[in-house]
Amino acid sequence: MQLTNRTLDELAPGDSAELRRLVTQDDLYVFAASSGNYNPMHLSDSDLDGNGESERVAPGMFVASLISAVLGTQLPGAGTLYRRQVLDFHQRAHAGEELLCRVQVREKLGDGHVRLATTVRRLSDDALILSGEAEVLPPPTKISLQQVEVPGLIVQRHRHFEALLARARPLPALPTAVVCPDDANSLGGALLAAREGIITPILIGRAEAIRKAAAEAGEDLSGIELIDVPGSEEAASALACRLVLEGRVAAVMKGHLHTDDLLKPMLDKATGLRVGRRFTHVFVMDVPGQPEPVMVTDAAINIAPDLPTKVDICQNAIDLALSLGMEPRVGVLSAVETVNPAIQSSIDAALLSKMADRGQIRGGQVEGPLAMDNAVDMGAARTKGLRGGVAGRANILVVPGLDAGNMLAKQLAFISHAEGAGLVLGARVPVILNSRSDSAMSRLASCAVAALHNARGAT
């Protein structure tokens, strides 16, 4: 941004400047965080008038701050200081509306100050939002700055999961066997998804422990089916498999048990849930600042996948992406973006890319090998001379092995503040797989992802 100001001598009555600004929901969150004004009228999840829509009213002082932006950057510009501002509000601005802020010099006062008329209008209908008057002290010296840099901001809001939940709520509640939900987190996540209308849970496990967890969490189990399985955790998972085969449930959700104990009965050839492909795990990550969800696979089941397993990893992830309305762009990761015979993951990546070209992997674009930077950053991809529809734009990241996948997913969660929804694919029904440390949003989003995937499979 280049800033050139105007001193008192350069100003004359009638001089004007203006600024256009699209008000976004993120603007309102940033203003709430910086000002401490948490009035729910200004936040996306409020519906104080009960009409079914969030108000998303832009705070009056946020709208007024546009005037300060014009005064401080254009007229008079850099170095300007406020003396007084009069504000009259006529209508309300909302997130999603584009505003036009205009200031005009009225007169130069005898004490070196300048009086300006100030207005903010909504561009769509020219409605007057704000009018008023400012008195400022113009900059005493001429300033011309070629570039002004301020730190970038990323709003830690999970809009992609909010969108998935909005799509999942109208669907019929997904009958879900919840295995061993005998702690507050796993039980609370299942009950939250039930209250949101995403799933209809059937709780399976030691009934006494589940009721105790509910009591400690202040949860009410009235109207929720609870099947007592006093034996091992594997026995509870085996019962969940039987409910799937009987058609009573269309998903399985992990409770407070180890992943191996949950999945072992599902792998039984006679009574399990295998349908041909290998079981693979996908993290659907909502990363603040990214334009769409990012999938990381496999980060929980296949430790050192060979090429046939990676084919299933790719295909399962593509199928899930299609269920979520995404355009699947699979970046197969390695340490390098060229094939190196000494790096097995680069060879596998090249083979997967060619297999997709030949139709052995269907439904999405597959490209590799790609390093992490040129998989997700267009600038890095162009620097390396990479072209095509995936490099720089990958939304499915296939990792070389479980170590890399687990590290990548946790880096996104704990450093980049992402939320992750976990799902096991390749079984007869989606298996909702959450960690004990997962937030309520992660558990709820996992259920929404499972419901959307199930709905696509049922059509």
Residue 49 has pLDDT above 80, yes or no: no
The strands making up 199-205's β-sheet, listed across from edge to edge, are 225-228, 199-205, 174-179, 251-254, 431-432, 419-425, 280-286, 294-297, 396-398, 329-333, 365-370
Q: What is the pLDDT of residue 156?
A: 66
Q: Classify residue 386: in a domain, yes or no.
A: yes
Residue 29 has pLDDT above 90, yes or no: no
Q: What is the pLDDT of residue 45?
A: 59
Cα 95 off chain centre by: 19
Give the pLDDT band of residue 149 (cuts 50, 70, 90).
confident
Give the pLDDT band of residue 19 (cuts 50, 70, 90).
very high
DSSP class of residue 58 equals P
The structure tokens listed for 330 are 């699979």
The answer to whether residues 233 and 258 touch, using CB atoms and an 8 Å cutoff, is yes
Alpha-carbon distance values, 196 to 172, 200, 203, 429, 448 (Å): 11, 10, 17, 21, 10
254 and 112 in one domain?
Answer: no
Alpha-carbon distance values, 283 to 15, 50, 362, 418 (Å): 56, 35, 20, 11
Read off the pLDDT of residues 86-107 as tens digits, 9 standing for 90 and up.
999 999 999 889 999 999 999 9
Sign of the alpha-carbon torsion through 352, 358, 361, 367: positive
Paired with 128 in beta bridges are: 121
The answer to whether residues 306 and 352 touch, using CB atoms and an 8 Å cutoff, is no
The answer to whether residues 367 and 391 touch, using CB atoms and an 8 Å cutoff, is yes
Average pLDDT over residues 147-176: 84
Helix or strand holding residue 175 (H, E): strand 174-179
132 and 102 in one domain?
Answer: yes
Which one-letter amino acid corresponds to residue 43? L
Q: What distance in Å separates the CA atoms of residue 164 and residue 257, rounded to the nearest whole number?
A: 27
The answer to whether residues 333 and 349 touch, using CB atoms and an 8 Å cutoff, is yes
Residue 458 has pLDDT above 80, yes or no: no
Give the pLDDT band of residue 71 (cuts 50, 70, 90).
very high
Q: Classify residue 193: in a domain, yes or no.
A: no
Average pLDDT over residues 393-421: 94
251 and 133 in one domain?
Answer: no
Show Cβ contacts of residue 432 under 8 Å, excluding neighbours closer than 6 positions. 176, 251, 252, 253, 254, 422, 423, 424, 446, 447, 450
30 and 71 in one domain?
Answer: yes
Give the pLDDT band of residue 81 (cuts 50, 70, 90).
very high
169 and 64 in one domain?
Answer: no
Alpha-carbon distance values, 393 to 275, 360, 363, 386 (Å): 32, 22, 16, 11
Q: Residue 421 sits in a domain of what CATH number?
A: 3.40.718.10
Q: Classify residue 75: in a domain, yes or no.
A: yes
Q: Where are the alpha helices (DSSP H) in 246-325?
A: 259-263, 307-323
Query: How many domains does the chain divide into?
Result: 2
Above pLDDT 70, what percent of the chain?
A: 96
Read off the pLDDT of residues 247-301 as tens digits, 9 standing for 90 and up.
999 999 999 899 999 999 999 888 999 888 899 999 999 998 888 999 999 999 9
Residue 315 has pLDDT above 80, yes or no: yes
423 and 368 in one domain?
Answer: yes
78 and 168 in one domain?
Answer: no
Best mean pLDDT range from 117-121, 236-240, 419-423: 117-121
Sign of the alpha-carbon torsion through 345, 350, 354, 359: positive
Q: What is the pLDDT of residue 53?
A: 61
Best mean pLDDT range from 176-190, 224-238, 351-365: 351-365
265 and 413 in one domain?
Answer: yes
Residue 459 has pLDDT above 60, yes or no: no
Q: What is the pLDDT of residue 46?
A: 60
Give the range among 42-46, 108-112, 168-172, 329-333 with minimum mean pLDDT: 42-46
Q: Give me the chain's average pLDDT, please.
A: 91
The answer to whether residues 352 and 311 touch, using CB atoms and an 8 Å cutoff, is yes
Average pLDDT over residues 345-360: 96
Give the pLDDT band of residue 422 (cuts 50, 70, 90).
very high
Q: Classify residue 37: in a domain, yes or no.
A: yes
Residue 313 has pLDDT above 90, yes or no: yes
Q: What distance in Å separates the CA atoms of residue 190 and residue 128, rounded to the nearest whole number?
A: 48
Average pLDDT over residues 394-410: 96
Q: Classify residue 182: in a domain, yes or no.
A: no
61 and 163 in one domain?
Answer: no
Give the range among 68-72, 113-117, 287-291 with minimum mean pLDDT: 287-291
288 and 356 in one domain?
Answer: yes
Phi, psi values for residue 227, rounded to 5°? -105, 120
165 and 131 in one domain?
Answer: no
Residue 197 has pLDDT above 70, yes or no: yes
Q: Classify residue 189: in a domain, yes or no.
A: no
Q: Classify residue 224: in a domain, yes or no.
A: no
Q: What is the pLDDT of residue 130?
A: 96
Q: Classify residue 120: in a domain, yes or no.
A: yes
Domain region containing 34: 3-145
Q: What distance in Å separates the CA atoms of residue 419 and residue 286, rounded to the nearest whole number?
A: 5
373 and 252 in one domain?
Answer: yes
Q: What is the pLDDT of residue 50?
A: 64
Assign 86 to helix, strand or coil.
Answer: strand
Q: Residue 53 sits in a domain of what CATH number?
A: 3.10.129.10
Q: Which of 321, 288, 306 is nearest to 395 (CA)?
A: 321
